[in-house]
Amino acid sequence: MENTCKITDLICLPDTKLPRVVVVGGGFAGLALVEGLKKRNVQVVLIDKNNFHQFQPLFYQVATSALEPDSIVFPIRKQISGYKNVQFRLAEVVEIEPSRNLLFTNKGKLTYDYLILATGTTTNFFGLENVEKNSLGMKDIRDSLNIRHMMLQNLEQAAITCDDEERDALTNFVIVGGGPAGVEMAGALAEFCRYILPKDYPEYPSSIMKIYLVEAMDELLGAMSDKASEKTLEYLKNLDVEVLLNEAVSDYDGKVVQTKSGKMLLARNLVWTAGVKGQFPKGISKESIVKGNRLKTNGYLQVDGHKNIYAIGDIAALISEATPKGHPQVAQTAIQQGKYLAEMLTDLIDDKPSKQFKYKDKGSLATVGKRRAVADLGKLKFGGYFAWLLWSVVHLMSISGFRNKLLVGFNWVISYFTYEKSNRVIIRNFKQSSHIDSPSDEQFGTLEKSENMQKTKIDA
């Protein structure tokens, strides 16, 4: 295969005689794997294009100014500090050359004995170019910041314009996708509008901000129980969110959202949570790429057609009779697969046999604004205040780092009693940022961007 990568210096790494396990991606899956491989007789190289782990389940709270980004991202070097056999390198992976066990990044190349892809997913706009151009996804902490800044900038602009229609457009919000991200975003926005808007913008009636949630299926939270779906719909209606079911967005010019059924929604704020697609470097054999741009693996999470390449987390599609569509793309799958692969690889290197991966569903939770949530725990399905408490505890416990738990807890307690949120400041111009900082779909496809980044650092 012809390698198109231009930067081919070796990335500097300690020279050990141990087998080298290269892990791409410091998300839930990648970190669980690295954690499991510490103190084992392997050299682990963790590569990520960010120097931090992101706690995706709370992105919507950053987007709505409930939390500051630093409380839900955690430095990878802090996470792995003390792991003597683990090296972190900040680089963007571009391409794999399996025939030579070579990995090319925007910072140079490195060799691997075992390559594990934990590169996750990115927003899928399903080819709706105008929507992609004029709206924001929520798959990266920068997206959350961009949404926050878009919203705050538009609220400020609404105070400046004398045009009533324009003011409505600037204050209206459309969220596409009735999954957990969309539902939680809608709930948080509704509370922002109810409790924050009147304080910060006394010039507006709080009724000025209309919130629409658009879902293509006939229910919200399709992956959860019918009971959860119904309760969620009820909660959102009580928060004055207008939910449109069996409705899909067909076009968006930045001001008017058009739906398949011909509806027109006036809104300059559009957040797209309606789909994701896997992202991974070039060089993987076409045959192993399946629906949703995921990588087909066997029961050992080994990517089809590649001897020493494995996939874990959202991009892994372990297709079996029990799981014809692979496992759900959620944090618990990622963590379980990371832990499993650590054991499996160790056994493999020690020439021991190992079992295939088994997924254990611990249930699902989703929250709708303050004091309301829904829970499916096996047979037990319930909603309301207790579900919300459970949601809060589970999420607080899963956040990396004592400091972050403390910060998030501190903010939640304050906002529980006061509905006050953290500082609503616009530090970046969201539009410029959304183009420059947000991960683009081509991030693994081309090297231009990567080279600029390289240059940036070298010229710095």
Residue list 256-295, contact with its own copies (CB under 8 A): 268-269
Tokens of 285: 């054999």
Nearer to its own copies, 99 or 423 (CB): 423
For its own copies, which stretch binds (CB under 8 A), given 70-78, 176-184, 313-321, 353-361? 70-78
For its own copies, which stretch binds (CB under 8 A), given 182-190, 322-330, 358-366, 452-460? 452-460
For its own copies, which stretch binds (CB under 8 A), given 62-70, 236-244, 279-287, 309-317? 62-70
Is there a contact between 203 and 156 (Cβ–Cβ < 8 Å)?
A: no
Q: Residue 382, interface with its own copies (CB under 8 A)?
A: no
The distance of closest approach from Cβ of residue 258 to its own copies in the complex, given in angstroms and rounded to an integer, is: 17
Nearer to its own copies, 69 or 384 (CB): 69
Q: In what order do the strands lie in the sheet with 108-111?
A: 93-97, 102-105, 108-111
The distance of closest approach from Cβ of residue 179 to its own copies in the complex, given in angstroms and rounded to an integer, is: 24
The distance of closest approach from Cβ of residue 44 to its own copies in the complex, given in angstroms and rounded to an integer, is: 14
Q: Residue 138, interface with its own copies (CB under 8 A)?
A: no
Per CB under 8 A, the list member of 222, 254, 384, 445 interacting with its own copies is 254
The distance of closest approach from Cβ of residue 363 to its own copies in the complex, given in angstroms and rounded to an integer, is: 30
For its own copies, which stretch binds (CB under 8 A), given 77-85, 232-240, 349-357, 362-370? 77-85
For its own copies, which stretch binds (CB under 8 A), given 237-245, 258-266, 360-368, 424-432? 424-432
- Give which of 208, 196, 188, 224 is closest to 267, Cα–Cα: 208
The distance of closest approach from Cβ of residue 262 to its own copies in the complex, given in angstroms and rounded to an integer, is: 24
Contacts with its own copies, 194-213, as mask; x by CB under 8 A: -----xxxxx----------
Interatomic CA distance for residues 254 and 259, integer angstroms: 14
Interatomic CA distance for residues 324 and 318, integer angstroms: 8
Q: Which of residues 213-252 bind its own copies (CB under 8 A)?
A: none
Q: List Cα–Cα distances, 134 to 65, 214, 250, in angstroms.
A: 21, 17, 13
Nearer to its own copies, 210 or 424 (CB): 424
- Give which of 90, 42, 460, 64 is closest to 271, Cα–Cα: 64
Residue 396 makes CB contacts below 8 A (sequence gap 6+) with 405, 408, 409, 412
Q: Which of residues 87-116 bind its own copies (CB under 8 A)?
A: 87-91, 107-108
Nearer to its own copies, 45 or 213 (CB): 45
Q: Residue 50, interface with its own copies (CB under 8 A)?
A: yes
Q: Which of residues 335-364 bind its own copies (CB under 8 A)?
A: none
Element (H, E) at 212: strand 211-214
Nearer to its own copies, 87 or 302 (CB): 87
Q: Residue 142, interface with its own copies (CB under 8 A)?
A: yes
Q: Residue 9, interface with its own copies (CB under 8 A)?
A: yes
The distance of closest approach from Cβ of residue 119 to its own copies in the complex, given in angstroms and rounded to an integer, is: 18
Query: What 3 state SS string does 378-425 have?
Result: CCEEEEEHHHHHHHHHHHHHHCCCHHHHHHHHHHHHHHHHHCCCCCCC
Is there a contact between 111 and 101 (Cβ–Cβ < 8 Å)?
A: yes
CA dihedral 328, 329, 332, 334 (to 10 degrees): 120
Write down the residue that tokens 């808007």 correspond to: 197
Q: Residue 409, interface with its own copies (CB under 8 A)?
A: no
For its own copies, which stretch binds (CB under 8 A), given 19-27, 80-88, 284-292, 319-327? 80-88
Interatomic CA distance for residues 414 and 386, integer angstroms: 19
With CB under 8 A as the rule, give the number of residues binding its own copies. 72
Q: Residue 77, interface with its own copies (CB under 8 A)?
A: yes
The distance of closest approach from Cβ of residue 404 to its own copies in the complex, given in angstroms and rounded to an integer, is: 8
Q: Residue 370, interface with its own copies (CB under 8 A)?
A: no
Tokens of 386: 């207790």
Per CB under 8 A, the list member of 85, 329, 337, 404 interacting with its own copies is 404
Q: Residue 58, interface with its own copies (CB under 8 A)?
A: no
Per CB under 8 A, the list member of 75, 275, 363, 384 interacting with its own copies is 75
The distance of closest approach from Cβ of residue 91 to its own copies in the complex, given in angstroms and rounded to an integer, is: 7
Nearer to its own copies, 20 or 296 (CB): 20
Interatomic CA distance for residues 273 and 140, integer angstroms: 12
Interatomic CA distance for residues 344 and 339, integer angstroms: 9
Is there a contact between 214 and 245 (Cβ–Cβ < 8 Å)?
A: no
Interatomic CA distance for residues 313 and 306, integer angstroms: 18
Interatomic CA distance for residues 137 and 141, integer angstroms: 10
316: which strand partners? 295
